[in-house]
Amino acid sequence: MIQFKNVSKSYQNRLALNHISLTVESGTTTVLIGSSGCGKSTLLRAVTGLVNPDSGEIFLNEVRLTSQTLPELRSKIGYVIQEGGLFPHLTAEKNLQLMPKLLGWNMRKIRERINELAELTALPIETMQSYPSELSGGQRQRVSLMRALMLDPQILLLDEPLGALDPIIRRELQEDLREIFRRLKKTVLLVTHDLGEAGFFGDRIVLMKNGTLVQQGSLSDLVQRPADAFVTEFVNAQRSPLEELVR
């Protein structure tokens, strides 16, 4: 479970998060969505300790996130960013080995875990010897997901993980990711700008605007029962030109 209690954050007098209170239930997928600059990525990064709130509290499985608890809590968090964020001078396998080696895992345990995750993410094991530049965008994201899952974290954070992929690869990865979420039953917090993708993944969708939470619920809630005019405007803006043409 992730709990935000009255969390605020400002950058040079610009309010990025404005007294956010939100609970992400254990074993569910919550999707943060909104226009660029609305605060969704800032909220996600606050969970990792990359952003320090000016006020408020964050709890991970009822443990308050502080500078003292952060080192231990980080091992329970997997984090996937857009385009993977892999170290370019290391092979996929070496990227995956970094944290387990730091924690003292032996090579047998590391290789067993890599094999498990390669099967889970449908990535050929021989891919592990390739460098990031030798992998396709979809393969890099699969390796990035493997890295996030390497320590079997309780919480999985994903910041626009599919945003840089072409539509065909993106759709394939969407299907695989949703199946992985369902199988592993992790607590997932995912950021996207795409309402359709939010509906595809989310047990719950949280729409943000100017650092505030505008509406929470299912995709049908946002479409059929908008909380205000902004929700309707946001939904209408997400309708694709193709959809309009085929009407």
Q: Is the pLDDT of residue 242 over 50?
A: no
Half-sphere exposure for 190 (CA within 13 Å, toward CB): 29
The pLDDT, as a whole number, for residue 233 is 93
Give the residue-averaged pLDDT of 34-61.
Answer: 94
The pLDDT, as a whole number, for residue 166 is 78
First-to-final CA distance of the chain: 42
The percent of residues above 70 in pLDDT, for the chain, comes to 96
Rounded CA-CA distance 140/157 in Å is 17
Tell me the per-residue pLDDT of 67-123, one tens digit each, with 9 for 90 and over: 999 988 988 999 998 777 899 999 999 999 999 999 999 999 999 999 999 999 999
Q: Is the pLDDT of residue 207 over 70?
A: yes
Tell me the per-residue pLDDT of 152-165, one tens digit each, with 9 for 90 and over: 999 999 998 887 67
Single out the residue of 118, 90, 120 nearest to residue 99, CA to CA: 90
Q: Which amino acid is at 76?
A: K
Sorted by where each starts, the structural domains of the chain and their CATH numbers stand as 1-76+155-164+184-247 (3.40.50.300)
Give residue for tokens 């039953």.
185
Rounded CA-CA distance 202/198 in Å is 6
Is residue 119 within 8 A of residue 42, CB to CB? The reply is: no
The pLDDT, as a whole number, for residue 241 is 44
Instruction: Output the CA torsion 68→73→74→80 (10° steps).
Output: -140
The pLDDT, as a whole number, for residue 165 is 75
Give the residue-averaged pLDDT of 57-69.
Answer: 94
The pLDDT, as a whole number, for residue 244 is 46
Tell me the per-residue pLDDT of 5-41, one tens digit each, with 9 for 90 and over: 999 999 988 899 999 999 999 999 999 999 888 999 9
Residue 215: pLDDT band (50, 70, 90) is: very high
Crossing angle of the two packed helices 137-149 and 107-120, in degrees rounded to 10: 130
Q: Is the pLDDT of residue 59 over 90?
A: yes
Instruction: Output the CA torsion 218→227→188→143 (10° steps).
Output: 90
Is residue 138 within 8 A of residue 173, CB to CB? The reply is: yes
Residue 240: pLDDT band (50, 70, 90) is: low
Show the tokens assigned to 211: 């650092």
Query: What are the start-end ranges of the E strands in 65-210?
Result: 77-81, 155-159, 187-192, 204-209
